[in-house]
Amino acid sequence: MRRVRRGQTGIVSNSRVLFGDYAARWTASVPAPAESFTYATVIEAGRQFPLLGLRLPGPRTVVVTAGFHGDEKSGPLTLLDHAAEIVAYAAARGVGLQIYPCVNPSGFEAHTRYNLSGERPNNDFLRYEISPGVWRGELRTGQAFSEVAPVGGGGPKETVALARQLATGPVPVAALDLHQDNFIHGHWFYAYVFGDLAAYRPLLARSGGLVPVLRSSIVDSGQDPDGDVFADSEGFIVSHDGSITDKFQRDGVTYTAAIETTTETPAPIAAEINLIWIRGFIDLAAAPAPAVAGARPAQETRQNGGIGVNPAPSKEIGEHVRGTE
Ligand SMILES: [Zn+2]
């Protein structure tokens, strides 16, 4: 098992971006036949933050989300800088798009993981009942549950707004969530996935040509000995963590993943990896769906059977913050 050194948040050169500037550039960047829109407005610290989207009609839709964590800048900036190219790529293949480029705008501007109210928008799409009357936001590996339910109106503002917005549209064929890992030092890549892992292997391999893939490693910061998340021997994680990716697999979305570059990865490389996966997911949506008999189920069990306790200290002292939360 590889040991990964953890420490302070990686330095991001573009850590401070005014959201108003981002929103203006976003609106100006979305080309026809796509259109930009605002699906809700949240109020944080007395200011209004519009929640931005892009839609491109098409019979088979790909959803791309980014910016759940405000200090993970690569996803929102990749989508802003490459909106025209992404729209052209999808339109040429007859694929529709719904892009939500900056899900947590107040956190984005403040460069904080959570929103300015301290709510945690990432892992609150689903709740699992693990024993009668006991509900959890995520499951440990292999943990049984009796019910799973959407969080509904009681979740973080941004999560509630996005869930409502997604409910107005068709169930996508593929859904990709762009993240970064600022817990792990160095340049790395790994991915949370559901469904047929074979679909993702070419994308993982191309990403691995740009930065090393984090394999057979504990990813989560772990004060909870049973709560760690493991990247398997390929660099994949299958985790029922209540995230939008988990929600999409519950909704029956064929291809759904959350990808992670470390924040120390140079921004142009992180952007290129994001684009590899965005184009790849558009390609998957454009291709005929595989026959059910040929699809392999998601791997539900931990691959490495390795060490269950991470001896490295949690980064956020005094509070257990799961890497995905
Ligand atoms: Zn994240």
Domain residue spans of the chain: 19-123+153-294
Range of 129-143, 146-160, 232-246, 298-312 with top mean pLDDT = 232-246
Predicted pLDDT of residue 317: 28
Please give the pLDDT value at position 8: 38
Does residue 306 carry a pLDDT above 60? no
Q: For the range 138-145, what are the long-range contacts, defined as Cβ-Cβ under 8 Å and sequence gap of 24 or more?
A: 138/239, 138/240, 138/241, 138/242, 138/246, 138/322, 138/324, 139/239, 139/240, 139/241, 140/226, 140/227, 141/229, 141/230, 141/239, 141/300, 141/301, 141/302, 142/300, 142/301, 142/302, 143/240
User: Which pLDDT does position 300 carry in this prediction?
Assistant: 33
| 178 phi and psi angles, rounded to 5 deg | -95, 125
Q: How far is the CA of 107 from the centre of ligand 1 (A)?
A: 12
CATH of domain 19-123+153-294: 3.40.630.10
What's the gap in Å between 93 CA and the centre of ligand 1? 29
pLDDT, residue 28, reads 97
pLDDT (average), residues 210-217: 96
Question: Is residue 274 predicted with pLDDT exceeding 90?
Answer: yes
Q: Give 43's Cβ-side CA count (13 Å radius).
A: 1
In angstroms, the CA 157 to CA 293 distance is 40
Question: Given a cut of 80, is residue 74 above it in pLDDT?
Answer: yes
What does the radius of gyration of the chain's CA atoms come to, in whole angstroms? 18
- Considering only 4-18, 65-79, 309-323, which range has the smallest mean pLDDT? 309-323
Confidence tier at 35 by pLDDT (50, 70, 90): very high
Ligand 1 centroid distance, CA of 92 (Å): 30
Q: Tell me the pLDDT of the chain averaged across its residues.
A: 86
Q: How confident is the model at residue 229 (pLDDT cuts 50, 70, 90)?
A: confident
How close is the Cα of 55 to the center of ligand 1, in Å?
23
Give distance in angstroms: CA of 118 to centre of ligand 1: 15
Mean pLDDT of 218-235: 73
Distance CA 56, CA 243 (A): 24
Q: Which of 105, 123, 125 is nearest to 45 (CA)?
A: 105
CA of 132 to the centre of ligand 1 (A): 31
Mean pLDDT of 99-116: 97
Give me ligand 1 centre to Cα 68, in Å. Answer: 6
Write down the pLDDT at residue 3.
43
Q: Compute the distance from residue 258 Cα to the ligand 1 centre, in Å.
A: 9
Window from 117-131, 163-177, 284-298 with minimum mean pLDDT: 284-298
